Chains A and B, each alone.
Chain A
Amino acid sequence: MMSFTDGEARNGLGRWYDLFSRGTRDWLRHNAKVRQAVRDHLPELVAGSDVLSNPRDRTVKVPVRFLEHHRFRLRDQEDEQGAGQGGNVKPGDVLRPAQPTSGSDPGGGEAEGPINFVLEFQIDDILDWLWEELELPNLQPRAGTAIEEDVYVREGWDKRGARSRLDRRRTLKEAVKRRSVQPDSRIPIGNDDLRFRQLARRPKPTASAVVFFVLDVSSSMDEHCRKLAKTFFFWALQGIRRQYTSVETVFVAHTVDAWEFAEEEFFQVRGEGGTKSSTGFARAHEILIERFDPARYNCYLFYATDGHNFSEDRGAATTELQRLLPLMNFAGYAEVSQQSHRHMDTEIATIWQRLAAEDLPVQLHAE
């Protein structure tokens, strides 16, 4: 980080001041504090508008209050008037409210003013920090579903090959080598000197994935539940994004019927009436078959709901899920609810638990 220009220091054992760099150390500590501030603001950050679809070039603004160290200072002599040290003060009296009244009160006590730096961060940077801290295990694709496609990669050289694959540099090198051991050779470049680049066929796991986010938007899902669901979707997507080069997202909302939405609308959708989760799964299945070839995509499904479902929908939901889940690398079920009962005894949770028992790639989680 630091570069020393002192020549003497490099030859010898070094001078005493080479041994440390306090500036760097304290600067790193400061950065750690900024990170902490960012992490404290994370809920607001994630709950903000559409951060899911394409966070690559998105930035967030995070207010950081302690970039500048607070210092107490005395008021100037001139405006020192009635500072409240008179006779009628009691312990606990507030001399001046701590809240700075902007503009109207140019008193010495707030001359420095509250320093509100707003830092702009790449979302990806923040996620990188957080991901390190979360230390989650890497998402393992279901065994046997590693989808492979063949790619050609360059691999080695050969003396024979197509003309277009001639490696001129190598060929010349070979010629030079040969002529150095056969000084009286009169052939500048012989057939034995030719070198051709070779291609080999390699199976390569596909690097694209599609993620289905299915959200129950029936009237029982309130703002709190949506926020939790959004946070859950966000992190699920981040985990997947780390594994694949291209990730596509599909947003499906359902009540008694299901629709696909763009992300910005997705979390604003508010449905009326009851819940038939089977419709959501059916719609997801439809989209999957229509647009994404399960043989070429790694498919993920995340479903967030408060767990309530029409009991007459049970059979249909089970059937849909049994049709859908085998196509998935992984499916996650998150139950979000206002009450903190985490028993997983709701209608939909029971269905998913049964499917998990059938050895489908499913996990359940309650928030």
Chain B
Amino acid sequence: MPSRLDQYIPQLEALAAAQGLVYHPVDFEVVPASFMMEVAVYGLPVRMPHWSFGVRWVYQMIQHRMGHSRIFEVVFPGNPNHAYLVDTNSIEENTLVVAHVLGHADFSRNNMAFVHSQEQVGYHIVEQAAAHAHRIQEAIDQQGEQRVERVLDAALALEPHIDTDLPLNRGRYQQPSRRIAREFGEADFGGRYARLPGAEALPVMSRLEPLHIPPRPERDLLWFIAQYAPEMEDWERDIFLAVRKESWYFQPVFNCQIMNEGWASYWHSRLLREADFLPSQFYVDCMKTHSDVVSPHAGDKQVALRINPYHLGYALGAPDRGARIHRGAGNHAAGGRFRVYPQLSDGRDCR
């Protein structure tokens, strides 16, 4: 890590703490661009092998080689947060990125969706995803690539279909009453007796209905399949649950992207503005990068083909309003800051 950046990081962190940002510690690491590209595509430093990542990776690589896309940073929220900086970026860019990452760290510590997800998934998704990848590799060794790939194709196709309103570790559906369970349980005598030929002659049996699976519409398809699919082997269920867990981790990342980037962009501009230890030319260079990042247009194109979350989030959280509300809130809690996003009151961009 370049020595100047080494100096600036503690100074910026002190500044952030003085401004009232609250976050889990952040580990910064400077990595090569090629590694960064992989991380950006896979979403996690170590993740299960799947050909669809390869497609995205090549696409990203082409974009990168053609100069259409630049990756500045990747942060993995957790405790500690892991942040990666690219070694080909200039010191000014990386200083901006450090301030940006501190904004992200504050957001992920205080945002409801992130807090909820991290409470459920834990603070070590990076390590867990590596363990998943290891287990899937073992499955490939034992079952063969074709079979594992079929399961992964299916599980990843259902990736967004989880239910974060229910706990991560859910039990199976409860029988509505113990009596029915006792009388109609699969293996019980009562159940077998009820299915005997001529059982319909017993009026008391016909009144009771067996439990419908699922008893109500189920949003968490990955869980449902892993729990109730009739003909699956254990390693297949394990893959579904691994995909589900990573999807839990990703859900706030995707759902809060605009706010998260807006918040981080607001804070990087603010922290750098107040960082009097930076030389003034250095500050100007940082701000040039900032204006590129929050530009509504990509590169030199004059049309915005898609939303730039940095721009939208930054504009929504507009520096003036953000600052005023921040000061008004004094000791800022997550709820106070998000009043600038009245339409997003539950702390998500969308559902």
* B51 near A22: Cβ-Cβ < 8 Å: no
Number of interface residues of B (CB under 8 A): 33
| B245 close to chain A: CB less than 8 A | no
User: Is the contact region of chain A dominated by helix, strand, or loop, or is it mixed?
Assistant: loop
CB distance from A12 to the nearest CB of B (A): 14
In the bound complex, how far is the Cα of B153 from the Cα of A121, in angstroms?
A: 26
* A23 near B32: Cβ-Cβ < 8 Å: no
Stretch at the interface among B158-166, B234-242, B279-287, B331-339: B158-166
CB distance from B23 to the nearest CB of A (A): 25
Stretch at the interface among B7-15, B54-62, B256-264: B54-62
Residues on A with C-beta less than 8 A from B33 are 5
* A5 near B87: Cβ-Cβ < 8 Å: yes
* B38 near A23: Cβ-Cβ < 8 Å: yes
Residues on A with C-beta less than 8 A from B189 are none
Residue of A nearest to B156 (CB): A69
* B38 near A73: Cβ-Cβ < 8 Å: no
Query: Known contacts A3-B34, A69-B52: does B157 contact A23 (CB below 8 Å)?
Result: no
In the bound complex, how far is the Cα of B145 from the Cα of A159, in angstroms?
A: 65
Query: Known contacts A4-B34, A6-B87, A69-B153: does B54 contact A23 (CB below 8 Å)?
Result: yes
Residues on B with C-beta less than 8 A from A69 are 50, 52, 55, 153, 156-157
* B153 near A26: Cβ-Cβ < 8 Å: no
Residues on A with C-beta less than 8 A from B35 are 4, 17
In the bound complex, how far is the Cα of B52 from the Cα of A25, in angstroms?
A: 11
| A9 close to chain B: CB less than 8 A | yes
> Which of A9, A17, A67, A73 has the most C-beta atoms of chain B within 10 angstroms of its own C-beta?
A17
* A27 near B55: Cβ-Cβ < 8 Å: yes
* A26 near B50: Cβ-Cβ < 8 Å: yes
Stretch at the interface among A28-36, A126-134, A259-267: A28-36
A:62-80 near B, CB below 8 Å: 67-73
Residue of B nearest to A34 (CB): B51
Contact of A27 among B54, B156, B161 (CB under 8 A): B54
CB distance from B62 to the nearest CB of A (A): 11
* A71 near B159: Cβ-Cβ < 8 Å: yes
Residue of A nearest to B35 (CB): A17
In the bound complex, how far is the Cα of B57 from the Cα of A361, in angstroms?
A: 53
Contact with A along B213-253 (1 / 0, CB 8 A): 00001000100000000000000000000000000000000
Contact of A72 among B34, B61, B145, B161 (CB under 8 A): B161
* A73 near B32: Cβ-Cβ < 8 Å: no
Residues on B with C-beta less than 8 A from A5 are 32-34, 87-88
Contact of B53 among A2, A23, A71, A73 (CB under 8 A): A23
| A140 close to chain B: CB less than 8 A | no
| A340 close to chain B: CB less than 8 A | no
CB distance from A327 to the nearest CB of B (A): 48
Contact with A along B28-51 (1 / 0, CB 8 A): 000111110110011001010111
Residues on A with C-beta less than 8 A from B153 are 69-70
| A21 close to chain B: CB less than 8 A | yes
* A26 near B51: Cβ-Cβ < 8 Å: yes
Query: Known contacts A33-B51, A85-B217: does B159 contact A23 (CB below 8 Å)?
Result: no
B:77-100 near A, CB below 8 Å: 87-88
- Can you list 28 residue pairs at the A/B interface with Cβ under 8 Å? A4-B34, A5-B33, A5-B88, A6-B31, A6-B32, A17-B45, A21-B38, A22-B53, A23-B37, A23-B53, A23-B54, A23-B57, A25-B54, A26-B49, A26-B51, A26-B53, A26-B54, A27-B54, A27-B58, A29-B51, A30-B52, A30-B54, A30-B55, A68-B52, A69-B157, A70-B157, A71-B159, A72-B160
The chain A residues found within 8 Å of chain B, CB to CB, are 2-6, 9, 15, 17, 21-30, 33, 67-73, 85
